[in-house]
Structure formats: structure tokens, C-alpha cells
Amino acid sequence: MAGNGPWSLIMTASIELDLKQRLARLSERDRRDMSAYLLRLKHQSKSGRQGISKLMKEMDAGRKTSLSKLATDLGHG
């Protein structure tokens, strides 16, 4: 599929459905591995790196939420 022109990068609905069905049949461990792989791809992309950079700058500026405050805000504490 790759290398067949610009249309080759578009995921059709049928390909997406097939991929989701295959992922659903994986073991929990294999799904975790796939999730980690996809997250790594996201973080390696330009937009992913920009998002992380923005988040880190916000945290450096003091915009942090402690785990206990988050739990309280979500009604879990």
C-alpha cells in the first residue's frame, strides 16, 4: 500500500474496521504492546512532540495538579 501515491496514506473505513477487529482479538498483553507502540509513534510525530513540549512548558509555569487534588476533583477522594 505504501508508495502508491498520496491516497495510499488514507485509511479507508473498511481497513479501519478490519484493524479494530484484529486488535480486539488480541490478548490483553498484545493489546498493551500495540497501545505502547501507537503511543510511541504519536510521541515521535511532529505534532506529538509539540504537544508534549507545550505540556511541559505549562507544567514548568506552575500549572500542575497533584494526584490527590485530581482525585478530589473527580470525586474519588
pLDDT in tens, 5-33: 555 567 788 898 999 999 999 999 999 99
User: Once rounded to an integer, what is the mean pLDDT over residues 31-57?
Assistant: 92
Least confident of 8-12, 42-46, 67-71: 8-12
pLDDT at 35 over 90: yes
Instruction: Quote the cell numbers at residue 25.
Output: 482479538
Query: For a pLDDT cut of 90, what percent of the chain falls above it?
Result: 40
User: Strand, helix or coil at 4?
Assistant: coil
Distance (Å, whole) CA 64 – CA 22: 38
Rounded to whole angstroms, the Cα distance separating 76 from 48 reads 30
